[in-house]
Amino acid sequence: MKFYTAFNALYYRSRCSNSELVTVELLKSDRLSLLLYAVGSSAPSKKVISMLNKCVDDGVSKIFRMSSSDNCAFIRTCLGLYHIEDFVRNRTAKFMYNLCDETVSK
């Protein structure tokens, strides 16, 4: 729910810029972090990953005013907004690497 609130605030403030790319960059840098907070330290189920993916799809669809999921997947790939499972895998690997690195250095 917080993601949608934060995204809607971002979307309505950036509408006057008339640039979808500005909105997408803000989505990637700021709101995606909010959405994926603490995902690296947990093991989300496929249902949770699907829900997170739907949030990003809804955001991209709203920014570019489209309804087709095929177009949304293509635009997400072009913009570097890959499937949430990839983000989760990378964040988990980074979390585990940092955890192991701290343990070894102590």
Q: What is the pLDDT of residues 75-103, one digit of tens each?
A: 888 888 888 888 888 878 888 888 887 77
pTM exceeds 0.75, yes or no = no
- Long-range pairs for 61-68 at CB < 8 Å and ≥24 separation? 62/7, 62/11, 63/11, 63/20, 63/23, 63/24, 63/27, 64/20
- Percent of the chain exceeding pLDDT 90 equals 0
The total number of structural domains in the chain stands at 1
Predicted confidence (pLDDT) at residue 1 exceeds the cutoff of 60: no
Predicted confidence (pLDDT) at residue 22 exceeds the cutoff of 70: no
Domain of 101?
2-105
Q: What is the pLDDT of residues 53-78, one digit of tens each?
A: 888 888 888 877 787 777 888 888 88
Average pLDDT, the chain: 76
Integer Cα distance of 25 and 22 in angstroms? 5
